């Protein structure tokens, strides 16, 4: 009993440390990446190559007072940033980093992650509505419509993976792909699944970018239209928690993509698997998130919704039916 308690505490500390480091220094990575793309230097004053800039920004935000606008719902205004962080950190509990590194193996871990993603959407809506600002309210409405539109094709593509693997446990899905890249779901050759799984991967990745409110799908923020969107009235650590939640959602999206389609902690060449392979995969995916943001321009809201309702949902539904037919035939 005592051993299990210490193990749980160890995993909790590990998850909090992993989440904190990523939430802080991914901002530095993005600023450096954006500077590189735009032929600038980026952060360079605080520490070597600006590595201490996230720490300086965090201390600055902690020293500021959280000002609550007059006439707004103060409780919801303060709760919304915290609510944006909790689902992202909780999602780390069920993500398997390797065969023996993972806080909790749950049979319905895929379903839990989708439920937690919905809570993050509610946090943005509450933050926008509680601010009493017209830009923030428009941002909250956009966020709900966008997340609702893109959760449907994302769920349909995940169902194809669950049907092939025969489990909703992320650890079992990763174990089903061990043995080299030719066993990964994105490259799965047996029973003709290669025809459908690469389409599922593309749809899932597009939906991940949209679900995390990243450009070119960052319509909830849209600085040129809505100032800062749902964060317009936030300062101090309220703003900081929203930003940390956004970066943690990117990490969760990369972890989920690597687990569902890229073999989890499996070595691409069939050699010794390990947690380092999982970390390499998720940081390559995170770099892709950053690269997309600073390469493609922001789209328009009606085009964003048309992409989901008119293209991604029909394609993902057809892909699901074809996958079911292949499983039935073979």
CB 208 within 8 A of CB 154: yes
Mean pLDDT value across residues 117-125? 83
pLDDT in tens, 276-314: 999 999 999 999 998 898 888 888 888 889 999 999 999
* pLDDT tier for residue 3 given thresholds of 50, 70 and 90: low
> What residue ranges in the chain does DSSP mark as E strands?
none
pLDDT value of position 321:
93
pLDDT value of position 174:
92
User: Residues with Cβ < 8 Å from 321, sequence gap 6 or more?
Assistant: none
> Any long-range contacts for 100-107 (C-beta under 8 Å, 24+ apart)?
101/275, 102/171, 103/8, 103/11, 103/12, 103/14, 103/15, 105/169, 105/171, 106/169, 107/167, 107/168, 107/169
Say how many C-beta atoms besides its own lie within 10 A of residue 268's C-beta: 16
- Mean pLDDT in the chain? 86
Distance from C-alpha of 150 to C-alpha of 40, rounded to nearest angstrom: 34
pLDDT in tens, 86-96: 888 888 888 99
Q: Write down the domain spans for the chain.
A: 2-329
pLDDT value of position 281:
94
Distance from C-alpha of 28 to C-alpha of 78, rounded to nearest angstrom: 26
pLDDT in tens, 6-20: 776 777 778 888 888
Indicate if the pLDDT at residue 187 is higher than 90: no
Cis peptide before 62 (omega within 30 of 0): no
Distance from C-alpha of 226 to C-alpha of 37, rounded to nearest angstrom: 25
């Amino acid at each position: 009993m005592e051993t299990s308690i210490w193990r749980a505490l160890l995993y909790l500390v590990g998850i909090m440390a992993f989440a904190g480091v990523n939430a802080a220094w991914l901002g530095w990575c993005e600023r450096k990446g954006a500077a590189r793309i735009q032929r600038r230097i980026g952060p360079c004053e605080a520490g070597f190559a600006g590595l201490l800039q996230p720490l300086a920004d965090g201390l600055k935000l902690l020293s500021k007072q959280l000002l609550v606008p007059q006439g707004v719902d103060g409780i919801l205004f303060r709760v919304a940033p915290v609510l944006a962080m909790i689902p992202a950190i909780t999602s780390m509990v069920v993500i398997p980093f390797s065969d023996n590194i993972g806080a909790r193996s749950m049979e319905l871990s895929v379903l839990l992650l989708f439920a937690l993603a919905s809570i993050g959407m509610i946090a943005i809506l509450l933050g926008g509505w509680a601010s009493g600002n017209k830009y923030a309210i428009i941002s909250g409405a956009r966020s709900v419509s966008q997340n609702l539109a893109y959760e449907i094709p994302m769920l349909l593509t995940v169902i194809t993976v669950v049907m092939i693997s025969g489990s909703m446990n992320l650890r079992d899905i990763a174990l089903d792909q061990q043995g080299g890249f030719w066993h990964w779901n994105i490259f799965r050759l047996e029973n003709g699944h290669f025809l459908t799984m690469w389409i599922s991967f593309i749809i899932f990745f597009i939906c991940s970018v949209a679900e995390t409110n990243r450009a070119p799908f960052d319509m909830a923020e849209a600085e040129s239209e809505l100032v800062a969107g749902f964060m317009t009235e936030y300062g101090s650590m309220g703003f900081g928690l929203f930003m940390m939640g956004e970066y943690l959602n990117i990490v969760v999206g990369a972890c989920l993509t690597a687990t569902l389609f890229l073999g989890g902690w499996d070595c691409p060449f069939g050699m010794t698997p390990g947690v380092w392979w999982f970390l390499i995969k998720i940081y390559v995916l995170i770099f892709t998130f950053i690269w997309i943001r600073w390469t493609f321009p922001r789209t328009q809201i009606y085009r964003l919704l048309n992409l989901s309702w008119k293209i991604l949902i029909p394609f993902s539904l057809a892909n699901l039916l074809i996958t079911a037919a292949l499983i039935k035939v073979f």
